[in-house]
Every structure is written in structure tokens, then in C-alpha cells.
């Protein structure tokens, strides 16, 4: 099965994932709640990323340990670029992490019929970046603080 092609005319937001089982995301974001860069897989999706596009941070990991789900919303600030030799590509971001009480937990999002088909639910192990359609991003915004 091939992954769906992202179309810029229906791109609501990019979605980048961080696995809290591998990295102490809680500690990192307590010290610095702003993501300024994140790794992405080289490919057509990374080449579509442009300054000004919305981006969502999705925290993942073992269920039950932390309230995983949407932890931040911000903007891409430039093109994705290759890293140094043998280093991953990265994309520059202005992505503030939400206060803990404002993060949107995965079960709440999964229960929303408008978000049930999110790529992050269908392919949770897929490489960064994932994406939300225009309709999905509009639905997600109804769960975010004003």
C-alpha cells in the first residue's frame, strides 16, 4: 500500500512526532517549550515544507504513561535541509509547546469523528513529517485553547 500523496491545496498542517519513550520530552519542554528545529525524512514531503505553513507537534509513546497527543502548534520558518554527512534532514520551526493543561490527549482526538482518519492514527510509525488536511486541521483547532 502506498502512502497518500500530500496535496498543497489540501494541506492544513504538517505534523511532526516525538517519541517520549526515546527522549525525555517532558523534561526538555519544561526547560525550553519552543521547538526551533526537528528532524524530517528526506523526500517529496520534506521538499514541500515552506515558511509560514502550520505545524503540529505530536507526542507519542507507551500509552498510559503520559497524556500523548497534540502538544504544540506553530509554523514552519524555512525549507527543510539536509544535515551534515550521515546526519538527518531538519526543518526550522517556530513551534511553542502548549502548557500541560492545554495539550490535547490522543483519546479525545481519536473520539472525534472528524479526526478519526488522521494519518498519525493510521500509520503511527511513519516518518516525519505527517500531515493534516485542511478539514482535519480545522477540527483540531476546535480542541485547542483560544
- Domain ranges, ordered by start, for the chain: 10-140
The Cα-based distances of 109 to 47, 70, 74 in angstroms read 28, 9, 18
pLDDT of residue 4: 65
The fourth-level CATH superfamily of domain 10-140 is ph1033 like domains (3.10.590.10)
Q: 14-73: per-residue pLDDT in tens? A: 999 999 888 899 999 999 999 999 999 999 999 999 999 999 999 998 766 778 999 999
CB count within 10 Å of CB 116 equals 13
Q: 102-144: per-residue pLDDT in tens? A: 999 999 999 999 999 999 999 998 999 999 999 999 999 999 9
pLDDT of residue 61: 83
Record the pTM: 0.94
Amino acid at each position: 500500500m502506498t502512502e497518500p500523496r500530500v496535496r498543497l491545496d489540501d494541506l492544513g498542517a504538517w505534523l511532526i512526532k516525538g517519541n517520549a519513550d526515546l527522549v525525555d520530552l517532558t523534561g526538555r519542554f519544561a526547560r525550553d517549550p519552543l521547538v526551533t528545529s526537528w528532524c524530517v525524512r528526506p523526500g517529496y514531503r520534506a521538499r514541500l515544507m515552506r515558511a509560514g505553513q502550520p505545524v503540529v507537534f505530536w507526542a507519542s509513546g507507551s500509552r498510559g504513561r503520559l497524556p500523548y497527543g497534540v502538544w504544540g502548534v506553530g509554523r514552519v520558518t524555512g525549507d527543510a535541509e539536509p544535515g551534515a554527512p550521515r546526519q538527518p534532514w531538519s526543518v526550522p520551526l517556530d513551534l511553542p509547546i502548549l502548557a500541560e493543561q492545554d495539550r490535547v490527549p490522543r483519546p479525545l482526538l481519536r473520539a472525534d469523528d472528524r479526526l478519526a482518519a488522521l494519518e498519525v492514527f493510521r500509520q503511527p510509525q511513519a516518518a516525519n513529517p505527517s500531515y493534516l488536511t485542511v478539514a482535519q486541521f480545522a477540527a483540531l483547532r476546535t480542541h485547542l485553547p483560544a
